[in-house]
Chains A and B, each alone.
Chain A
């Protein structure tokens, strides 16, 4: 049986993430009550695993690191069809940068045991670093292919994948076990079904903390992070807007005039 781990992250809802602001006075983050959702690209990662499951015998574990509230997105993945859900949650994991996050997830993958394939979204919508997949692969001593847009699984454990480049793609053959980070082009994620939600009710989420993983507190969270944020600031705008007013027709006419003035038309 092929064992797949899908790494997922709870992120502030990208549709409302604009409400998170830096307080110009205190230089701290104003979180603005934005709900946490499953990172959009992680849906593609889970969908990749679910599609492979239709063609062969597969066991899918969903793995996330986050606060206890992140259990809701693990639950969502179980309802979408994952077999096992693991949440790595501990105060000691807080404040992790990409490196410490990759390490913690890698330890989770290892404890879960013998993964053949690890899928991640190419990036998270909040951190947007793209580093967790490749760094985790290095820590697990697995090869990685980033920005995967097509997967052709083979029974002989050498999969063929296409990975996006700025102006084309690479076609590669990868020997398992391996880590793949996926793009939106790979698939169209399914949506939650009523029967899935009912089935997921019976599934429990495994929670592992620092002691369960058996890792040193120095290697995770803020302490295990090579990078730190030293300053936050708001940005001064140098432009001053002039509104084009009038009816819709008048506004469009004036905008055309403006586009002529600046040489676009």
Chain B
């Protein structure tokens, strides 16, 4: 294993034939990992009408693209995609396979890992090659970080959320090899996709919001959560949450910020009624200014932000809303 020169793989994720940002982000990171290992970056790209995309993958740092461009691959199908990827992996024996922590990756990665009888680490926040040429997979846990490795079995597999790694600088001059994957792509029919429905998200999208407001258990109850929603509107902020708010049923899973949710980098972050758990905080580490409101001055959240307000958020938010209203009125009258 010491001089393993087998490639680093990324499984591409696309929507309407466009690559999701997580794919070039992973290719860029894989370039670094492959350089450390002295090997190549290869991408598996499946879809229908995606044959123009390999150039983007080469520009991001890939040397080879396995391209499955076929109507039967238009939508992600668990059995079809798993069969194709497992078949390729058994033939080409990559030492690493990375996928995005997207709806597809979160289902496909464990299906592939189980078929290949190998390890899989969820939602990594960093990846490095160590002195033994093994992939170190870093995840947040217990207020700190832990390193996980898959020392013996290959491939080493991990998922990574969108936004963990930056988009690579594109080198449009880079060319690579396209290897086309031939069908037929068939499945047993035990799972059929009847339709895929896209629903427009409510409010300001977290990915692009310049201000992100996140709240957690401190909201208290559904009424308290409504105040948080009102505050997000008053600030024109993207509204995110921590796991307890999802567990309580106040907020949608899709708005959870952190390791197993969204990674965002707003100008300003305002965290209300949350304790600053590592799994959440890694999701907003890229924010420029960070502010927290919590009723406990000793809360760990205060050691991770720039400005702190010690107060019960249920009492404080209504007053803050009132002050924002007064400020806005003054602006209008000036």
Tell me the A residues contacting B by CB distance below 8 Å. 14-15, 18, 20-22, 29, 40, 97-99, 102, 123, 125, 127-131, 133-135, 137-139, 143-147, 160, 164-175, 178, 183-185, 188, 225-235, 237, 239-244, 248-249, 251-253, 255-256, 258-260, 262-265
Decide yes or no: A131 and B110 within 8 Å by CB, A252-B319, A264-B268 being known contacts. yes
Tell me which residues across on chain B come within 8 A of A98, comparing CB atoms: 110, 120, 122
Decide yes or no: A252 and B308 within 8 Å by CB, A18-B277, A227-B150 being known contacts. no
Q: Say if the beta carbon of B329 comes within 8 Å of chain A.
A: no
B199, A168: Cβ atoms under 8 Å? yes
A252, B246: Cβ atoms under 8 Å? no
Tell me which residues across on chain A come within 8 A of B291, comparing CB atoms: 255, 258
A255, B320: Cβ atoms under 8 Å? yes
Within 8 A of A (CB), among B129-165: 136-137, 140-153
Which partner residue on chain A sits nearest B288 by CB separation? A262
Decide yes or no: A242 and B190 within 8 Å by CB, A249-B319, A252-B323 being known contacts. no
Which residue in B106, B199, B289, B315 is a CB contact (below 8 Å) of A262? B289
**How distant is the Cα of A218 from the Cα of B149 in the complex, in angstroms?**
18
Tell me which residues across on chain B come within 8 A of A169, comparing CB atoms: 196-197, 199
**How distant is the Cα of A37 from the Cα of B93 in the complex, in angstroms?**
41
**How distant is the Cα of A252 from the Cα of B321 in the complex, in angstroms?**
9
A260, B327: Cβ atoms under 8 Å? yes
A227, B119: Cβ atoms under 8 Å? yes
Q: Say if the beta carbon of B311 comes within 8 Å of chain A.
A: yes
Tell me which residues across on chain A come within 8 A of B78, comparing CB atoms: 143-145
**How distant is the Cα of A129 from the Cα of B121 in the complex, in angstroms?**
7
Tell me which residues across on chain A come within 8 A of B142, comparing CB atoms: 20-22, 29, 232
Q: Shortest distance in angstroms between B330's beta carbon and chain A's nearest beta carbon?
A: 10
Which partner residue on chain B sits nearest A41 by CB separation? B247
- Besides A21-B144, A22-B143, A128-B279, 12 more A-B contacts (Cβ < 8 Å) are A102-B114, A125-B247, A129-B120, A133-B110, A164-B254, A165-B196, A173-B191, A239-B306, A248-B319, A253-B323, A258-B291, A259-B270
Q: Say if the beta carbon of B193 comes within 8 Å of chain A.
A: yes
Q: Shortest distance in angstroms between A146's beta carbon and chain B's nearest beta carbon?
A: 4
**How distant is the Cα of A137 from the Cα of B120 in the complex, in angstroms?**
16
**How distant is the Cα of A41 from the Cα of B288 in the complex, in angstroms?**
34
Q: Shortest distance in angstroms between A172's beta carbon and chain B's nearest beta carbon?
A: 6
Which partner residue on chain A sits nearest B111 by CB separation? A134
Q: Shortest distance in angstroms between B159's beta carbon and chain A's nearest beta carbon?
A: 9
Tell me which residues across on chain B come within 8 A of A249, comparing CB atoms: 319, 323
Residue total for B at the interface (Cβ-Cβ under 8 A): 96
Q: Shortest distance in angstroms between B102's beta carbon and chain A's nearest beta carbon?
A: 7
Which partner residue on chain A sits nearest B279 by CB separation? A128
Tell me which residues across on chain A come within 8 A of B103, comparing CB atoms: 147, 164-166
Within 8 A of A (CB), among B187-222: 189-201, 210-211, 217
B319, A135: Cβ atoms under 8 Å? no
B197, A230: Cβ atoms under 8 Å? no
A264, B235: Cβ atoms under 8 Å? yes
Tell me which residues across on chain B come within 8 A of A129, comparing CB atoms: 120, 122
B308, A172: Cβ atoms under 8 Å? no
**How distant is the Cα of A135 from the Cα of B275 in the complex, in angstroms?**
33
Which residue in A131, A166, A171, A262 is a CB contact (below 8 Å) of B194? A171
Decide yes or no: A134 and B107 within 8 Å by CB, A226-B150, A258-B291 being known contacts. yes
A244, B150: Cβ atoms under 8 Å? no
**How distant is the Cα of A265 from the Cα of B289 in the complex, in angstroms?**
14
Q: Say if the beta carbon of B185 comes within 8 Å of chain A.
A: no
